[in-house]
Amino acid sequence: MKKDTTIFNLINEEKKRQTLGLELIASENYVSEEVMRAMGSVLTNKYAEGLPGKRYYGGCEVVDQIEQLAIDRAKKLFNAEWVNVQPHSGAQANAAVMLAVLKPNSRILGFDLSHGGHLTHGSPVNFSGKLYQPSFYGVEEETGQIDFDKVHAIALKKQPKLIICGASSYSRDWDYKKLREIADHVGALLMADISHPAGLISRGLLNDPLPHCHIVTTTTHKTLRGPRGGMIMLGKDFPNPWKEKNNKDEVKMMSTILDAGVFPGTQGGPLEHVIAAKAVAFNEALDESYMKYCIQVMKNAKVMAKCFMDKGYKVISGGTDNHSMLIDLRSKNLTGKLAENILVRADITANKNMVPFDDKSPFITSGIRLGTAAITTRGIKDKQIPMIVDLMDKVLMNPYKEQAIQEVKKDVNKLMKDYPLFG
Ligand SMILES: *Cc1c(COP(=O)(O)O)cnc(C)c1O
């Protein structure tokens, strides 16, 4: 069999793109070489339907140990009582939870997609909006922030069975305690989807949903810096609305339902190579160096938001508590689509994004979403952020001047050479 040079040449091209560019997509990061090595291992050959010690296939003695390590490390990282590390992605984790705890046509309440929520929180184009009856809460136009009293009022009116909090684009922290009070008041389950800030939450740098939310889902590849994948967790405090007593059996009951929601509910065989890579990433996240990384991610984001505001850009909610921010470009007479296009030509990657109360379509948009998780992994510190914002501003203020864009591209490539990806 001949070597597949076509694909491997393309992979090298992508590696070059990632190495030379400034990566500001808020949901992306760079994993370590060990995480990649685990993912590219012989574990991909193994079928292991079921859970450690309870498999439907033989020969699982080794993968059992690997998956158990992933579970134990995740539990330690998040101080969780129970974890399922098998969801193939964040969307799969949410699908498994909803299949497990809802009946078709149940009412759900989520954060509006056009205000920063996620497709899997009830969007009509997603399973969550097709199989269930969604309603939504959003941010206030004035503040760009969620008013939790308004969420309470909507919940009372809509009587959802499941309330979902968490977002793809919301730069402020969440009041999980208050949301739990709301859920208890209307007899709903509360699920937090912490896909974006999971890593920051794990290190105690943001509010912790685990003591308040019945169920917590996340991806493993955003701030958490692991392989692409998902995970479901239960916290210690678990008086669920169907029963009165709070004891370990409640966790057992709920975890059994959730395990079944993953397999056989929505998935077949787990990806043990990815689960091994998750275990590697969790171990990295338990190291002191990851805590320093998370603190720097947040510092970089705060400085970036301030630099943009100093240049007259409108940052939604006036800043950020986490790794991300959303910039409304309407005051600069730019669309998100144009901004994304010209930045990419300067080797700066970011994504166009709806802003709350946007008057443009999801294909055009008025905003751009930025995050600092990836550039911080490269080693960029807050000291370099003003210069990076200057480069972006130069592109954005000269959208039709190819020379300016090419000058910035050169500066970006030169800068990134100082922050090598590997070794
Ligand atoms: C990214 C994200 C997801 C989906 O994760 P995938 O791995 O892309 O399926 C789900 N929910 C939220 C809030 C996200 O930000």
Domain at 332, CATH number: 3.90.1150.10
Domain-terminating residue out of 226, 258, 285? 285
Q: Note whether 145 and 127 are same-domain residues.
A: yes
How confident is the model at residue 253, as a pLDDT?
A: 85
Q: Note whether 175 and 73 are same-domain residues.
A: yes
Q: Note whether 299 and 272 are same-domain residues.
A: no
- 217 Cβ below 6 A of ligand 1: no
Q: Which of 193, 224, 326 to mutate to test the pocket of ligand 1 (most atoms within 8 A of CB)?
A: 193
- 353 Cβ below 6 A of ligand 1: no
Distances (CA, A) of 273 to 258, 264, 385: 22, 19, 36
For position 237, which CATH number holds? Answer: 3.40.640.10
Q: What is the domain count for the chain?
A: 2
User: What spacing in Å lies between the alpha carbon of 332 and ligand 1's midpoint?
Assistant: 30
How confident is the model at residue 125, as a pLDDT?
A: 97
Cα–Cα distance between 367 and 329 in angstroms, integer? 5
Do the domain assignments include residue 10? no
CB 200 within 8 A of CB 297: yes
Q: Note whether 119 and 240 are same-domain residues.
A: yes
Distances (CA, A) of 117 to 142, 146, 310: 18, 12, 28
Q: Which domain holds residue 76?
A: 34-285
Do the domain assignments include residue 12? no
- 81 Cβ below 6 A of ligand 1: no
How confident is the model at residue 200, as a pLDDT?
A: 98
Domain-terminating residue out of 259, 285, 311? 285
**Catalytic position from the list 46, 76, 178, 228:** 228
Residues of the chain where predicted confidence (pLDDT) is lower than 50: none
Q: Note whether 268 and 151 are same-domain residues.
A: yes
Cα–Cα distance between 72 and 79 in angstroms, integer? 10
Q: Note whether 146 and 279 are same-domain residues.
A: yes
How confident is the model at residue 237, as a pLDDT?
A: 60
Burial class (CB in 10 A: 0-12, 13-18, 19+), 283: middle
How confident is the model at residue 2, as a pLDDT?
A: 86
Q: Note whether 258 and 385 are same-domain residues.
A: no
User: What spacing in Å lies between the alpha carbon of 313 and ligand 1's midpoint?
Assistant: 27
- Among 396, 344, 364, which Cα is nearest to 23's? 344
Burial class (CB in 10 A: 0-12, 13-18, 19+), 122: buried
How confident is the model at residue 239, as a pLDDT?
A: 56
Cα–Cα distance between 325 and 33 in angstroms, integer? 28
Q: Note whether 129 and 151 are same-domain residues.
A: yes
* H-assigned helices in 137-189: 148-158, 176-186
Do the domain assignments include residue 29? no
Do the domain assignments include residue 19? no
Q: Note whether 240 and 388 are same-domain residues.
A: no
Q: Note whether 270 and 333 are same-domain residues.
A: no
DSSP 342-360: HHHHTTEE-EEEPPTT-SS
Q: Note whether 294 and 395 are same-domain residues.
A: yes
pLDDT digits 0-9 by tens, 126-154 = 999 999 999 999 999 999 999 999 999 99
- Among 45, 396, 87, 405, which Cα is nearest to 262's? 87
